[in-house]
Structure formats: C-alpha cells, structure tokens
Chain A
Amino acid sequence: MTTTITVTVNGEARVLPAGSTVADLVAALGCKPAQVAVERNREIVRRADHGAVLLVEGDRLEVVTFFGGG
C-alpha cells in the first residue's frame, strides 16, 4: 500500500504522507495559515476547509500570499 503521495506545490514536486490535508501541507511548508491562500487544481480551497480537504496523488497546488506590489 502506498504510504506517500506526490503533489506539485508552486510548480515543485513534493512528497507528503498519504492522507495529508491542505492544512497539513500548509503546516509542512511552515506558513502562517492566516497569511496564505490555497488553490487546488485551479479551485480555491476555502480556509475553513483546509483541515478537511484531503490531497491526492498528482494534485497541483498554488500556495500564495501577499508581496510588495503596485
């Protein structure tokens, strides 16, 4: 049985334990949950759902925050 999954985060492959949620990913990246937004396969994952949404093999994720800009 597979114990890990590979997902793409901000364009980079990343191996996570099977059964990881979006919240687990955010924690693994060391991000402050209140300062990131996550898109999974081009759909927004609402912050309230981060703990409930399971990641699966091949998911493509964008994890973003604010940077200086005009």
Chain B
Amino acid sequence: MGLCGASARRTIASVTLVDTPLVLGPHRFTSRLFLGTGKYPSMPSMVDSLAASGTQCVTVAVRRMQLGVPEGKTLLDYLPREKYVLLPNTAGCFDAEHAIRTARLGRELGIGDLVKLEVLGDPQTLLPDPVGTLEAAKVLVKEGFVVLCYTSDDPVLAKRLEDVGVTAVMPAGAPIGSGQGILNPNNLRIILERAKVPIVVDAGVGTASDVTIAFELGAHGVLLNTGVALARDPVRMARAMKAAAEAGRDAFLAGRIGKKLYASASSPTSGVIAGE
C-alpha cells in the first residue's frame, strides 16, 4: 500500500447524507420517485424497470375485468406488496362522479386508502378539469381517502386543493405522456413556496434532466410513467431517473449558488506570475 493510499484513507471523511422520508398518509418513502405501471413492452421489462428506479410506490389503473379472457397472471402477481405500495388512479375519468366511483372500487380492491385522483377535461389534452377535480377531492377526503391529487400547475388551484384536505398536490409538469418536461418552472416555484403539503410533480417527464429540474426546484416527489415505459431501453432509463432524482434532491438540499451576470474567479486572483 503506497503512502498516498494510506493518507487518503485517513483524510476522507465518512459523510452520512441524510434526507427525511416523504410522508404521505400512513406511508413513509425513502425513494421520492413514483412510477406508473402502464405501457411497458412486457411485464418483465416493467418489473426490472421498477426495480432499477428504486421506487417504493407504483400507480395502477382500475379497469373492467376482460370477460371471456382466460385469466393468467395478473398485474398484481407482478407487484409484490412487500416491495411496492400500490397507488390506484382514477385515470380515464372525465367527471367527478366517475372518479369517485373508481376511487371507491380501487379501495375495495383492498390496498388501503391511497388514491391518485385524476378528473380529466378531455381525451385529447388529458388536462385536468379543475372544477371536477376540486369537487371529487372534497368528497374523497370526507370519505377518508388519502388523496394525492393530480392538477394543472395553477398555484391558486393547488392552494384550493390543499384547503379541502388533500394529502399531496400533484401538478403536471406538462401534459400526460407528452415528455415535454417542466414547462412552467415559475408556476411550480410559486406552488412550492406556498405549499403546506407535499408537492409531487406528475406527468410530462421525458428524460432524466426533467426529474432533476423538478427536484432542484424543491419538489418533494416526482411521478412518471411514459418516459420510462416507452424509452428505447426502459430499464436503463429507470436507472437514469433514479440517479436524476437523487442528484436533483441533493442539489436542492445542498443549496445552489445564486446566478450572477459576471464571472467570479475560482482560482486565487493574487500570486499570478509576472507577465513581462
């Protein structure tokens, strides 16, 4: 062993970087990444992607049983409960009543009171219907649901949802499945600055840097699906998302420097050798 190695070992401090868990109702997550389970090329690809992402909570959709189709292995068979908290969504619901019924059915499937509430405006944009969303959120909160509420990046609506008692507000970075990233970081900053509940950016993530940006802005979590599921290599993208989440969160906690117009030298400005 050379001298350098020995001295390095003595001087490298063992730094423990701690982060608080993200608490949503009865759940405590050390991973702040949430993944969807839709659109993967295959079940093994989904299973490996979820594992590579390090997520502890995955969204699932509530849908009619396909009648007359012999039942083989179902989605639930691929999602070990000891590994993942399941978060049923109300995707595909275009009014409050549908979303409420879907949430109740999801709860009846026996996985607890968590629901990702979505009330959508129309099938082309899949943008949230703010009126229906607020209406459904009120009812579900009263019924004891732990409501994680998908919404637009409107700071006023985010506050209204918080006021009616949702557990987390989930503003869209961009339209669902669009991969456009965080379109309005300023709105997200306003939401984050005023929020008293966790803010989980949901929808719009196209690539790893989108996740990093969300966390750097201070988001408490990020939920994504298409960005991983439809990547050319979903498992590798899932790993990238994990690294991106950790990088963004660490950068946020570390506290970035302010942006300046002019340069500021990193090397000493005195002691430069003579130029004659």
In the complex, identify which listed stretch (B14-22, B69-77, B134-142, B156-164) lies at the interface while the others stay far away. B69-77
Partner pick for A31 among B39, B71, B106, B177, CB 8 A cutoff: B71
Partner pick for A10 among B64, B76, B91, CB 8 A cutoff: B64
Interface status of B82 (Cβ within 8 A of chain A): no
A residues near B59, Cβ cutoff 8 Å: 69-70
Interface status of B56 (Cβ within 8 A of chain A): no
The residues in A between 40 and 64 inclusive whose CB is less than 8 angstroms from any CB of B are 42, 44, 46-47, 62-64
Interface status of B89 (Cβ within 8 A of chain A): yes
The answer to whether A63 and B74 touch (CB under 8 A), given A39-B105, A69-B36, is: no
B residues near A44, Cβ cutoff 8 Å: 104-105, 108
Interface status of B60 (Cβ within 8 A of chain A): yes
Number of interface residues of A (CB under 8 A): 28
B residues near A36, Cβ cutoff 8 Å: 65, 109
B residues near A14, Cβ cutoff 8 Å: 67
Partner pick for B105 among A12, A34, A64, A69, CB 8 A cutoff: A64
A residues near B194, Cβ cutoff 8 Å: none
CB distance from B54 to the nearest CB of A (A): 18
Cα–Cα distance between A62 and B106 once the two chains are bound (Å): 12
Cα–Cα distance between A69 and B39 once the two chains are bound (Å): 7
CB distance from B70 to the nearest CB of A (A): 7
CB distance from B200 to the nearest CB of A (A): 13
Q: Which residues of A contact B (CB under 8 A)?
A: 9-12, 14, 29-32, 34-39, 42, 44, 46-47, 62-70
**10 A–B contacts from the bound complex (CB under 8 Å):** A10-B64, A32-B71, A36-B109, A42-B101, A47-B110, A64-B62, A66-B109, A68-B38, A70-B61, A70-B223
Q: Which residues of B contact A (CB under 8 A)?
A: 36-40, 46, 59-65, 67, 70-71, 74-76, 86, 88-89, 91, 101, 104-106, 108-110, 176-177, 203, 223-226
